[in-house]
Amino acid sequence: MGYRLRTAAQADQFLVTAEVMPPKGGNPEHMLAMGQMLKGRVHAVNVTDGSRAVMRMSSWAASLLLQQQGIEAVCQVACRDRNRIALQADLMGAHALGLRNILALTGDPVKAGDHPEARSVFDLESVRLLKLLAKLNFGVDSHDKPLSDGALDLFAGAAIDPQSTSWSGLQRRFEAKVKAGAQFFQSQLITDFDRLAKFMDQVASGYNRPVLAGIFLLKSAKNANFINRNVPGVNIPQTIVDRLAAASDPLQEGVQIAAEQVQAARQVCQGVHLMAVRREDLIPQILDQGGVAPVDAALAER
């Protein structure tokens, strides 16, 4: 447990991950139930770390609970809430608990969340966190002092937004994250697959780092419009909004749209990262309609 995603990435398999939110409270049953529905369909389940600055159970604790159920986790680690001492402490603890996959994030601003009066830390940001992860894997701390009780072995990933309006900035950021030690990339929500193809051809090619396209389940036209208004950098095309508005069953239309996007992603990159907030149970259906076989079957065929 803990090496499936890394092994699949190194074998150039088509990677599948999905996102779950930790519980807001002490009962993890719903999260674990969603995780069980994804078992065998994904290489790993991403556990968010204060996504949108909304307070929930710590990512490492929720990740451990999932792995105890046989569900490999990607533990997201955001810089917003911890200084470098706390970040290193959490990463060492995560490694000791058997977690191996880390997604290094800067973190959403606190003003966007449910505790807007909280103080941000941002001692580091994602690129410097990736550099810190590389040091810990090498066996030294942030000051290059030896870790007296052993190096870590963490598979570090990063986020990327191929639909960024600044192409040169996107290229610099991607290259900086590769240089800092990112071994895989998960993208923000993708709707423009021509843009993704351009990114893969002109930016990501030659780096041999798998890029997983972010696929978001849109539940209705209202949901799509809400995301357009409230999620920076996202522009869901009016054609998709109109499809959802005209559908007799908007949720199933959203599943079909996501499945079509999975099919598009399969043509241009090495994986998909599925986000279906509060409807993770529909992810297997999206994968089926998108033509993606269970990962257990893919592993068995090798």
pLDDT given for residue 297 in this prediction:
55
One digit per residue, pLDDT tens: the chain, 302 residues?
A: 789 999 999 999 999 999 999 999 999 999 999 999 999 999 999 999 999 899 999 999 999 999 999 999 999 999 999 999 999 999 999 999 999 999 999 999 999 899 999 999 999 999 999 999 999 999 999 999 999 999 999 999 999 999 998 999 999 999 999 999 999 999 999 999 999 999 999 999 989 999 999 999 999 999 999 988 877 678 899 999 999 999 999 999 999 999 999 999 999 999 999 999 989 999 999 999 999 999 985 443 43
Burial of 166 (0-12, 13-18, 19+ CB in 10 A): exposed
For the question of whether the overall pTM of this predicted structure is more than 0.85, the answer is yes
pLDDT given for residue 229 in this prediction:
86
pLDDT given for residue 233 in this prediction:
72
* CATH code for position 128: 3.20.20.220
**Rounded distance, CA 302 to CA 298, Å?**
7
Burial of 44 (0-12, 13-18, 19+ CB in 10 A): buried
pLDDT given for residue 2 in this prediction:
81
Neighbour tally for 212: CB within 10 Å: 26
Domain count within the chain: 1
* 221 SS3 class: helix
Look up the domain containing 34 and give its range: 3-299
pLDDT given for residue 301 in this prediction:
41
Q: In whole angstroms, how far apart are CA 56 and each of 51, 61, 63, 74?
A: 9, 11, 13, 16
**Rounded distance, CA 217 to CA 69, Å?**
25
Residues near 107 by beta carbon (within 8 Å), at least 6 away in sequence: 49, 50, 53, 78, 79, 80, 81, 122
